[in-house]
């Protein structure tokens, strides 16, 4: 039985990847390693926790000794690495946390994999999940391709860029078999409400203001999280060792247009007067170093592996809103205590 280590599987994207692999591949033993930081939540994967091919390991990738020990004990065959500090705003207030987990944590995993696999790299793989933010920012036109130079602007994207470089370096220097995928903005169920879409859904439900950074004319390329998980599955199984795959939604939105669409859908779903959610829009101080525009050229994964998004943005957004409205307890559980402190510090 192949042993697949998935890191960060209690987080947003990781939980969707874990679910897909546990359900689709009964012939794999899936190990979900997660430190359960503020962003990790076992409720995200409660539906699969009793499956016989699933094991949860609470561990911190910053603890090199523990990570080495786990590789020695379980002898994982392949790794899908998602564990990370993932929020740009938090990286601006605490960059070192991002260096620790995203850079040093990744190197700890690379070292453990290299030492465990060094005698025989056959059928081994270190699959690293990264972001389009490593490419920096675009002007009005153009797209990020796999050959776009790295040009990160935030402590978060600098730490992810660094981790990508380390993965590649381990491939070149030690022949560690790796793959990297760089994806655009994900949205969907289980996203922690510090990110734009779930934060705004939560605030609309509560009748709180919707804090738009700067002029709101920043552009992101949005992808439904399940489509990202499917792309990872495809690249992991059919991609080429040593390659990078860009994953995106072919779906660019200026923040303010997206927010207006969200407001319209929320008014309908909550049976509120049309225009009532939009009244909550409040322009606030801009994010420092705010990247103007991201847009992914996903032609390579489309042409080589046949991947494309399965839902339109309107469909995906509607499913996402429904999920948050139906999972009020999930939302309430993650927005008490520490979340409130974070929120007050960031926005008040
Ligand atoms: P998330 O913040 O929702 O989840 C991160 C998970 O990692 C959490 O479960 C957390 O507990 C765990 N974690 C954090 N530090 C850890 C540590 N030191 N040891 C072990 N576990 C730790 O993040 P996400 O949005 O699901 O992103 C997952 C990955 O995908 C990240 O690498 C991120 O950079 C990348 N990515 C995210 C997006 C996006 O739009 N969210 C887009 C492209 C790429
Ligand atoms: O592009 C991929 C990246 O997308 C991932 O690597 C990151 O992990 C993920 O967090 C996301 O980064 P962004 O910074 O683009 O996402 P966020 O949801 O924080 O913000 C989206 C846009 O909305 C951005 O232009 C900032 C703006 N924004 C965000 C928040 C939280 C606001 O205007 N107000 C807000 O309160």
Q: Where exactly are the structural domains of the chain?
A: 2-187+221-247
Cβ–ligand 1 distance for 40 under 6 Å, the answer yes
At residue 89, the pLDDT reads 98
Largest distance between two CA atoms of the chain: 66
Query: How many CB atoms neighbour CB 48 within 10 A?
Result: 19
pLDDT digits (tens, 9 = 90+) for 182-217: 999 999 999 999 999 999 999 999 999 999 999 999
Query: Atom 4 of ligand 2 has which residue's CA nearest to it?
Result: 185
Distance from C-alpha of 230 to C-alpha of 65, rounded to nearest angstrom:
32
Distance from C-alpha of 31 to C-alpha of 55, rounded to nearest angstrom:
5
At residue 337, the pLDDT reads 87
Mean pLDDT of 311-316: 97
Can 245 be counted among the known catalytic residues?
no
Can 194 be counted among the known catalytic residues?
no
Report the atom number in ligand 2 closest to the C-alpha of 212.
33
Over 90: is that where the pLDDT of 292 sits? yes
H or E segment at 345? helix 338-347
Give the dihedral sign, CA 42/47/50/52: negative
> Residue 230 to residues 21, 24, 50, 170, 194: CA-CA distances in angstroms?
10, 11, 23, 26, 24
H or E segment at 187? strand 185-187
Identify the weakest region by mean pLDDT among 284-288, 295-299, 337-341: 337-341
318 is written with which tokens? 């509607």
Over 90: is that where the pLDDT of 137 sits? yes
Q: Which of 7, 39, 101, 192 to mutate to test the pocket of ligand 1 (most atoms within 8 A of CB)?
A: 39
Average pLDDT value for the chain: 98
Catalytic residue among 156, 218, 245, 324: 156
Report the atom number in ligand 1 closest to the C-alpha of 187.
40
Report the atom number in ligand 1 closest to the C-alpha of 186.
40
H or E segment at 265? helix 255-269
- As assigned by CATH, the class of the 2-187+221-247 domain is alpha beta
Distance from C-alpha of 44 to C-alpha of 95, rounded to nearest angstrom:
27
Can 170 be counted among the known catalytic residues?
no
What 8-state DSSP symbol labels residue 102? I
Over 90: is that where the pLDDT of 119 sits? no
Best CA proximity match to 240, nearest among 127, 89, 130, 154: 127
Mean pLDDT of 301-311: 98
Contact 252, 193 (CB under 8 A): no
How many A from CA of 8 to the centre of ligand 1? 6
Over 90: is that where the pLDDT of 13 sits? yes
113 is written with which tokens? 């994999």
Q: Which of 213, 216, 294, 344 to mutate to test the pocket of ligand 2 (most atoms within 8 A of CB)?
A: 213
Question: How does residue 308 score in pLDDT terms, banded at 50, 70 and 90?
Answer: very high
pLDDT digits (tens, 9 = 90+) for 58-106: 999 999 999 999 999 999 999 999 999 999 999 999 999 999 999 999 9
80 is written with which tokens? 């899908």
Query: How many CB atoms neighbour CB 312 within 10 A?
Result: 12
At residue 67, the pLDDT reads 98
* Long-range contact set of residues 85-89: C-beta below 8 Å, sequence gap at least 24: 85/37, 85/156, 85/159, 86/11, 86/12, 86/39, 86/156, 87/39, 87/156, 87/192, 87/194, 87/195, 88/133, 88/154, 88/156, 88/157, 88/287, 89/194, 89/287, 89/346
* Helices H / strands E in the chain, number of each: 13, 12
At residue 310, the pLDDT reads 97
Contact 265, 321 (CB under 8 A): yes
Distance from C-alpha of 135 to C-alpha of 76, rounded to nearest angstrom:
31
What 8-state DSSP symbol labels residue 31? E
Share of the chain above pLDDT 90, in %: 99
| CA 170 from centre of chain | 23
Strands (E), 214-272: 219-224, 244-247, 252-254
Give the dihedral sign, CA 223/153/335/253: negative
Cβ–ligand 1 distance for 34 under 6 Å, the answer yes
Ligand lying closest to the C-alpha of residue 164: 1
Mean pLDDT of 8-17: 98
């Amino acid at each position: 039985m192949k042993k697949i280590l998935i890191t960060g599987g209690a987080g947003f994207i990781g939980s969707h990847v874990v679910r897909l692999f546990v359900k689709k591949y009964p012939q794999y033993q899936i190990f979900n390693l997660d430190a359960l930081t503020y962003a990790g939540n076992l409720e995200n994967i409660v539906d699969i926790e009793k499956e016989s091919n699933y094991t949860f390991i609470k561990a911190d990738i910053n603890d090199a000794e523990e990570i080495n020990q786990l590789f020695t004990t379980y002898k994982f065959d392949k790794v899908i690495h998602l564990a990370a500090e993932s929020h740009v705003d938090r990286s601006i207030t605490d960059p070192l946390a991002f260096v620790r987990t995203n850079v040093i944590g990744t190197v700890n995993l690379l070292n453990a994999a290299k030492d465990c696999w060094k005698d025989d790299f056959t059928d081994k793989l270190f699959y690293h999940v990264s972001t389009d933010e490593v490419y920096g920012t675009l002007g009005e036109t153009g797209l990020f391709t796999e050959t776009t130079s790295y040009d990160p602007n935030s402590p978060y994207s600098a730490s992810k860029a660094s981790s990508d470089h380390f993965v590649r370096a381990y491939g070149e220097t030690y022949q560690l078999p790796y793959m990297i995928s760089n994806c655009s903005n994900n949205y969907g169920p289980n996203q922690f409400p510090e990110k734009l879409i779930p934060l705004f859904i939560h605030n609309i439900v509560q009748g709180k203001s919707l804090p738009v950074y700067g002029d709101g004319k920043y552009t992101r390329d949005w992808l439904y999280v399940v489509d990202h998980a499917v792309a990872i599955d495809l690249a992991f199984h059919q991609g080429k060792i040593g390659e990078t795959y860009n994953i995106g939604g072919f779906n660019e939105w200026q923040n303010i247009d997206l927010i207006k669409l969200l407001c319209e859908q929320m008014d309908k779903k909550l049976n509120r007067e049309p225009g009532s959610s939009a009244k909550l829009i409040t322009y606030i101080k801009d994010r420092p170093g705010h990247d103007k525009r991201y847009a992914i050229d996903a032609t390579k994964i489309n042409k080589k592996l046949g991947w494309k998004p399965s839902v339109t943005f309107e469909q995906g957004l509607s499913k996402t809103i429904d999920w948050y409205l139906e999972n009020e307890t999930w939302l309430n559980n993650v927005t008490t205590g520490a979340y409130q402190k974070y929120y007050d510090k960031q926005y008040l």
